[in-house]
Amino acid sequence: MRVLLGLAGLIGFGALLELVPRIGLVSDQYAPPTSRIAVALADQVREERFWTALADTLRTWGLGLAIAVLAGVVIGVVIGSIPVLRVATASTVEFLRPIPSVALIPLAVLLYGSTVTSTLILVVYASFWQVLVQVLHGVADVDPVARDTARSYRLGRVGTVRYLIWPTTLPYAVTGVRLAASVALILAITGELIIGSPGLGKEIAIAQASDAVPQMYALVVVTGLIGVVANLITRTAERQVLAWHPSVRQEIPS
Amino acid sequence: MRRNLAAVLFTAAVLAASACGANTGGSTAPPQTGSAPASTPSGPPDQVTVGVIPILDVAPIYLGKEKGFFSKRNIELKLELAQGGAAIVPAVISGQYQFGFSNMVSLLLAQSRSVPIKVVSNGNNSTGQDGNDFAALMVKGDSPIRTAADLAGKKVAANTLKNIVDTSVRQSVRKAGGDPASVQFVEMGFPQQPAALQSGQVDAVFVVEPFQQAVLAQGGRKIASSYVDVAPQLTIASYFASNQLIGQNPDLVKRFTEAMQESLAYADAHPDEARQIIGTYTQIAPDVIAKMTLPKWPADVNRDSVQKLADLALEDKLLEKPADVDALFL
């Protein structure tokens, strides 16, 4: 039922976008009806160039996300476990975190030109904070009684991380990864669009420079679809990783 | 034991993270082969990356690559589409690209800021035919504006301010007997201009193909061919290299220039093949490609026209002192 309703909403939205240019509310030259976008999309998927661009975007996104998650988790656990570090870095993190990644585009371009590296810097910078802040909260959430118990049992530093901090932090980290995944996609496309590194964003810019409006919208639709798929994957992964956690376990009577 | 294993895994994860970072830096490092010593035609080909923009002006280099004009001179050509001319100059200086494509006013401005670059080949020229160029100053079909002189106090869209477009449009106004200083320029990308003209956001636009066709399709009217007004057969853009590359590998630069000359001459003589290749690197619709007015592609730069452009740039205060046009060429 939910799926059906969701589909109905999507079809309704498509029909609306079909209708608005057809009855002349907006010029169909600049906002082509859904059917024309669909035809352009069907043309695109037959071209090798489209698949190369899609692969480039997915590679930039995946690589950037992987670096950000790894760095965010490791640095988050280290900073979070050492109170002195935590206090010393708090203001710096709060200063750096709100800087919009796109504001770093000129810097990235100066350093690395219009390359994938420039886009990767944006992607990593934006998604790293999502993970780091969640992990920091997670580490801070460790139950004091459990912490004292671990100390009583003389768990070493590594053991504390493995058996105490990590299980508490994991649900937070997974939320961070889910947020980071969509932020990383946004920045990957933005980077390609503005910096000009290879990928769907660059193809959108080329379609725009070619006055190929339906093709441009078709590519925009594809980026939206990637976002939907990415969200599905991270949600499924969340359920797998946190199968033991009360928030996911179904059999617990509430 | 268990504890040690965890420590090892932790260290490995940190190392992997740093290795990832190092890897991405290494794999996309700018190719250094362009500055390799000059090789004989029998040696391994020189790998050359050229920064271009996805517009019809650069059709000859795509055509020349396809025809083998570069490979027969031992150049393995890689064409990179940059977002705009502004991004290409720094990339050529840093060595990410060996050659780049840019309009002449941008190059004159770069020279005035002592950027170490030189023009090595012609790029493209206007058709020289008034009313039948690949770029035009256009108004709405029902606009009261008849000539460029009527633009006094009006809003004109230009893709970049203080560059070749506003310089040329001001020349059209001057030629028509108007006051160039009274024209108000609005910065706006070419793709937005047809819609902005239609909705009355601006009174006139200066568009290149394929947007000239878009404005014509919505009933727009040409009032001037500004590139033609600047100079007959104005050289609009050219290919350039850094002084460093020119000093280190003059042989490669010479072979590139020769290959470009052959490509330009071929494209100029075979407009149908040029149209066909435009469809491969842009997304322009086939029916628009068939209708578009193509630029001219002479093999050599029209230096008199560049001098004229430099004079106008000085008059419009884009340049602070007269440009040394001859020093810009190899």
Residue A15 Cα distances to A4, A41, A216, B165, B323, angstroms? 16, 17, 19, 41, 58
- Provide the angle, in degrees to the nearest 10, between the axes of the packed helices A48-81 and A200-209: 130
Is the predicted pLDDT of residue B207 greater than 90, yes or no? yes
C-alpha span between B88 and B54 (Å, rounded)? 13
Task: Give A61's pLDDT tier (boundaries 50, 70, 90).
Answer: very high
Q: Note whether B143 and B279 are same-domain residues.
A: no
Structure confidence by residue, pLDDT tens digits, B277-298: 998 889 898 999 999 999 999 9
Of B28, B191, B288, the CB nearest to A117: B28
CA-based nearest residue to B190, from B216, B165, B222, B227: B165
Contact A205 B83 (CB under 8 A): yes
- The CA distance from A15 to the nearest CA of chain B, in Å, is 24
pLDDT tens, position by position, A2-51 = 788 888 888 888 888 888 888 878 877 788 888 888 998 998 888 888 99
pLDDT at B8: 43
Per DSSP, which regions of chain B are E strands? 46-52, 75-81, 99-103, 117-125, 135-139, 155-158, 184-187, 204-208, 221-224, 235-242
Is residue B265 a contact partner of residue B64, using CB atoms and an 8 Å limit? no
User: How much of chain A is helix, strand and coil, in % rounded to 5?
Assistant: 80, 0, 20
Q: Which pLDDT does position A250 carry in this prediction?
A: 66
In CATH, what number is assigned to the domain containing residue B177? 3.40.190.10
**One domain for residues B141 and B169:** yes
d(CA A200, CA A220): 8
Closest residue of A to B20, CA-based? A67
Q: How many domains does chain B have?
A: 2
CB contact under 8 Å between B54 and A30, yes or no, is no
pLDDT at residue B73 tops 80: yes
- CA distances to A26, A30, B201 from A21, rounded to whole Å, are 5, 9, 21
Specify the CATH architecture of the domain A32-249: Orthogonal Bundle (1.10)
Q: Tens of pLDDT along B144-159?
A: 988 888 888 899 999 8
Please identify among residues 175-194 of chain B the ones whose CB lies closer than 8 Å to any CB of chain A.
190-191, 194
Contacts of B196 in chain A (CB under 8 A): none
Give the residue-averaged pLDDT of B299-316.
89
Indicate whether B9 and B116 sit together in one domain: yes
Count of C-beta atoms within a 10 Å radius of residue A119: 35
- Domain definitions of chain A by residue range: 32-249
Residues B6 and B111 in one domain: yes
Helix (H) or strand (E) holding B74: none
Same domain, B239 and B94: yes
Which of B10, B14, B282 is opposite residue A210, by nearest beta carbon?
B282
B108 and B183 both lie in a single domain = no
Is the pLDDT confidence value at B166 over 70? Answer: yes
Out of B179, B205, B230, pick the residue that ends a domain: B230
Q: What is the DSSP string of B100-139?
A: EEEEHHHHHHHHHTT--EEEEEEEEE----TT-SSEEEEE
End-to-end CA distance of chain B: 70
pLDDT tens digits for range B186-195: 998 888 899 8
Residue B275: list chain A partners with CB under 8 A.
none
Closest CA to A220 of A16, A40, A23: A40
Q: Are residues B151 and B249 in the same domain?
A: no
A113:B96 CB<8 A: yes
Q: Which residues on chain B are in Cβ contact (under 8 Å) with A210? A: 54, 210, 282-285
What pLDDT is stored for residue B41 in this prediction?
54
Residues 65-84 of B with CB under 8 A from A: 80-83
- Chain A residues within an 8 Å CB radius of B20: 63, 66-67, 70
Residues of chain A positioned with their CB less than 8 A from the CB of B80: 114
β partners of residue B136: B207
Tokens of B317: 């205060």
Band of residue B21 on the pLDDT scale cut at 50, 70, 90? very low
DSSP-based three-state secondary structure for A45: coil
Q: Cβ B17–A74 below 8 Å, yes or no?
A: yes
Residues B90, B140, single domain; the answer is no
Q: What is the pLDDT of residue B1?
A: 41
Instruction: Decide if B157 contacts B206 (C-beta within 8 A).
Output: yes
Q: Which domain holds residue B271?
A: 2-127+233-328
From the list B28, B281, B284, the residue facing A116 with the nearest CB is B28
pTM confidence score: 0.78
Residues ≥6 apart with Cβ < 8 Å to B5: none
In three-state secondary structure terms, B256 is helix
Q: Which of residues 96-115 of B touch A (CB under 8 A)?
A: 96
B218 touches chain A (CB under 8 A): yes
Interface mutation target, options B23, B58, B96, B283, chain A, most CBs of A under 10 Å = B283
- C-alpha distances out from residue B234 to B63, B225, B263, B304, Å: 22, 11, 19, 9
- Domain C-terminal end among B180, B210, B230: B230
**Which chain B residues are within 8 Å of A215, Cβ to Cβ?**
283
**ipTM entry:** 0.72
Closest residue on chain A to B27 (Cα): A117
Question: Confidence class of residue B25 from pLDDT cuts 50, 70 and 90?
Answer: very low
Predicted confidence (pLDDT) per residue in B100-130, tens digit: 999 999 899 888 888 899 999 999 999 988 8
Whether residue B113 sits in one domain with residue B27? yes
Same domain for B12 and B81, yes or no, is yes
Question: Does B122 lie in the same domain as B26?
Answer: yes
pLDDT given for residue B36 in this prediction:
43
Report how far apart the first and last C-alpha atoms of chain A are (Å, whole number).
25
Q: Are B65 and B153 members of one domain?
A: no
